[in-house]
Amino acid sequence: MSFEFYKPANIDEASKLLKNSGYVAIVGGTDTIVKIKANFYKALKALVDLNGLFSKEIKVEGDKCIIGSACVMNYIAEHPVIKENFPVLAQAALSVAAVQIRNTATIGGNVGNSSPVGDTIPALYSLEAEVNIVSDEGKRVVPINEFITGVGRNVLKPGEMIESFAIPMRKTKGSFQKLGERKALSISKINLGLSYWNDGKPHYRIALGAVAITVLRVPKAEELLENSPLPLTDEVIQQAATYAVETAKPITDIRSTKEYRKQMAGVLLKRALNAIRE
């Protein structure tokens, strides 16, 4: 297989290139290279290298935390603003692959790949993140829960790229839970992001990954928890876990069976709630 390789100097140039069919963006390459080797792209004409175009930094701007799409997993996992305010995202980033890959794998690539098992995605759902999208035609903002439309599919139009992610700036407690084949270097069979904050009233956001074509929230469990006094009782946690099992609509694939994934949705929610229990 042969294809061109472009290194655009700016966003305008990159955007114009990406409007051509068969042109694919690449940053860390940890998904794209694997897919090329597996012959996933039937009509690949060119790789468009976005390195250098998007920020690798995390900063607080007003009431938002802005995470550049080129931030790599290790940087996110170690960043004090993320560790302090968004522990679910720090834990999710740290759970990706192994240290070498985490130095290359970007959050933009994880979300851009739009896999149902991407580990940062349920974390971003639970934090109510927005995706800042840019192209040569301008910018737009899409809530993370509207960004992914199917397995490997998202709302990006030809020429559009992920510039950054914006998370409402507030102090949350959180837990990321993942079941894989083994502890390291393992793609999730199922994963879960939980965030909790209290601004006079408690808020819980629960996001399950790998139990449907994209991440699912568990609104019945969120509502139950928000209306339950603290500390949560074992009975309340068990009921929330039952709602998670009912919500999960997994499939059987090479990584796991649908029955196992469904039961594990409840187990992971219990683990997450116990991890943040007051």
Ligand X SMILES: Cc1cc2nc3c(=O)[nH]c(=O)nc-3n(C[C@H](O)[C@H](O)[C@H](O)COP(=O)(O)OP(=O)(O)OC[C@H]3O[C@@H](n4cnc5c(N)ncnc54)[C@H](O)[C@@H]3O)c2cc1C
Among 27, 124, 206, 210, interactor with ligand X by CB under 6 A: 27
The answer to whether the beta carbons of residues 122 and 208 sit under 8 Å apart is: yes
Determine the Cα–Cα distance for residues 276 and 278; give it in Å rounded to an integer. 6
Look at the alpha carbons of 237, 238, 239, 241 in this order and tell me if their dihedral is positive or negative: positive
Give min distance, CB of 182 to ligand X, in A: 11
Q: Would you say 113 or 236 has its CB closer to ligand X?
A: 113
User: Residue 114, Cβ neighbours under 10 Å: how many?
Assistant: 21
We find the least distance from the C-beta atom of residue 146 to ligand X, in angstroms, to be 16
| Preceding omega of 231 cis (within 30 degrees of 0) | yes
Residues 81-100 close enough to bind ligand X by CB under 6 A: 96-97
Cβ neighbours of 55 (radius 10 Å): 15
The amino acid that residue 278 corresponds to is E
Q: Does residue 34 bind ligand X (CB under 6 A)?
A: yes
Q: Does 50 bind ligand X (CB under 6 A)?
A: yes
Query: Which among 173, 189, 203, 157 is positioned nearest to 268, based on CA atoms?
Result: 189
Interface segment toward ligand X; rule CB under 6 A; list 21-29, 80-88, 213-221, 267-275: 21-29
Number of residues that bind ligand X (CB under 6 A): 31
Which of 14, 17, 23, 28 binds ligand X (CB under 6 A)? It is 28
174 near ligand X, judged by CB under 6 A: no
Which residue number places its CB atom closest to ligand X? 109
Does position 151 bind ligand X by CB under 6 A? Answer: no
> Minimum distance between the CB of residue 33 and ligand X, rounded to whole angstroms?
7
Q: Does 256 bind ligand X (CB under 6 A)?
A: no
Residue span binding ligand X (CB under 6 A) among the ranges 5-13, 19-27, 58-66, 211-219: 19-27
Q: At CB < 8 A and 24+ separation, what contacts does 237-240 make?
A: 237/269, 237/270, 237/273, 237/274, 238/270, 240/206, 240/269, 240/270, 240/273
Per CB under 6 A, does 31 bind ligand X? yes
**Contact between 32 and ligand X per CB under 6 A:** yes
Encode burial over 133-146: b for 16+ CB neighbours within 10 A, e otherwise: bbbeeeeeebebbe
- How far apart CA 92 and CA 122 sit, in angstroms, is 9
Question: Which residue in 184, 176, 142, 186 sits closest to 161, CA to CA?
Answer: 142
8 lines the binding site for ligand X (CB under 6 A): no
Site for ligand X in 89-148 (CB under 6 A): 96-97, 101, 104-106, 108-110, 112-113, 118-119
Contact 221, 210 (CB under 8 A): no
If one asks whether residue 69 binds ligand X (CB under 6 A), the answer comes out as yes
Residue among 52, 252, 25, 255 nearest 161 (CA): 25
Out of 15, 30, 135, 177, the residue judged to bind ligand X by CB under 6 A? 30
Q: Quick one: which of 96, 103, 100 has its CA closest to 27?
A: 103
- Comparing CB distances to ligand X, the nearer of 35 and 270 is 35
- The mark string for 184-223 relative to ligand X (x by CB under 6 A, - otherwise) is -x-x------------------------------------
Judged by the rule CB under 6 A, the positions of this chain that interact with ligand X are 24-32, 34, 50, 54, 69, 96-97, 101, 104-106, 108-110, 112-113, 118-119, 156, 161-162, 185, 187
